[in-house]
Amino acid sequence: MKRPIEIAPPDIEAYRRGNAGVEFVHVLDSGNPGPNAMIQALTHGNEFCGAIALDRLLKEGFRPRKGKLILAFANVAAFARFTPEDPDRSRFIDEDYNRVWGDDVLLGSRDSAELRRARELRRFVDAADLLLDLHSMHEPCRPIMVCAKSEKSVALARRMGAPADLLLDTGHPAGLRMIERGAFADPSSPRAAVLIECGQHWARSSVDVATDITQRFLAVAGMIEKAFEGARQRVIRVTEPVVANTMGFRFASPWKGLEVVPKAGTVVARDGETVWKTPYDDCVMVMPSMVHLKPGTTMVRLGRYDES
């Protein structure tokens, strides 16, 4: 289903040159001791609410109170081919930029447009003490903070005080995400990363969420002085992904995201002779979507709210 496009992609050409030797990367140095914090937008080229938030920071001439702030527009090549007529075409050029962050792939011999860009940005990611990756979703759904498998990422999200839903998941079989890279996944390291799904890709509300969470992240990093009210936050623990085997995969219901299915054994999806059912009562449907259907793709994740 084609979604309405309520926002326009920002013109980021003015940021091409950057100031760190890599196009579309800007390092804002306070000159004072503090953390290296990084905010990335355009991990996927059709998800540009985060790019609007970064555009606003740069237009305002923002400077952090302490530490260094790295602002990166990631998959700019994919973003450049965005059109309202076929908006999902600009998600990536060759492959998903957010599945290439394992050293076996990133430092290997394979080549793609996304790998070349990830290799350019690796030194910034690896230097970040705190990282915020700004995303959005195809289906209309309230915001979700993805904390990968990391309890310290949950702690970072709780310090930010938003959004209400925090996700601990099982990763993607297709490859490692940026927030799972290196020290971010090491429980003994203080470095932490989170990924926020701000809402539907092209809804005005997603820009509001991206802007708000950016400000909250800067406050947690000590780069601005600002107090925020916190929402009641609940953790969803994913227990299993539902992965398509064939192009015949179909959902049993028109899931939109974060529905709580009350009964165990409810049919979630079918794929030929394979039938997926909810494994327990009160099962949460996490980010279901048919848009990127292909064998091996995670179509939805099944989880439950952690009431502890």
pLDDT at 280: 96
34 CB contacts (<8 Å, ≥6 apart)?
64, 65, 66, 67, 68, 221, 222, 223
Residue 53 has pLDDT above 80, yes or no: yes
* Torsion of Cα atoms, 220 then 225 then 229 then 235, to 10°: 0
Residue 196 has pLDDT above 80, yes or no: yes
**Alpha-carbon span 78 to 167, nearest angstrom:** 27
Residue 43 has pLDDT above 60, yes or no: yes
Q: Are 51 and 41 in contact (CB under 8 A)?
A: yes
**pLDDT tens-digit profile of 142-193?**
999 999 999 999 999 999 999 999 999 988 888 999 999 999 999 999 999 9
Domain spanning 238-306, CATH class: mainly beta
**Residue 308's pLDDT band (cuts 50, 70, 90):** low
Question: So what's the architecture of 13-220 in CATH?
Answer: 3-Layer(aba) Sandwich (3.40)
pLDDT at 170: 86
pLDDT at 304: 96
Please tell me the pTM assigned to this model: 0.94
pLDDT at 1: 59
Q: How does the average pLDDT of the chain come out, rounded? A: 95
CA 140-141-145 angle, to 5 degrees, is 135
Which sequence spans correspond to the domains of the chain?
13-220, 238-306
Q: Are 101 and 176 in contact (CB under 8 A)?
A: yes
Q: Is 104 exposed, middle or buried (0-12, 13-18, 19+ CB in 10 A)?
A: exposed
Backbone angles phi, psi at 39, to 5 degrees: -120, 125
Residue 197 or residue 172, greater confidence:
197
Q: Which residue has the tokens 């530490």?
A: 67
**pLDDT tens-digit profile of 234-261?**
999 999 999 999 999 999 999 999 999 9
User: Do 13-220 and 238-306 come out as alike in CATH topology?
Assistant: no
Residue 231 has pLDDT above 90, yes or no: no
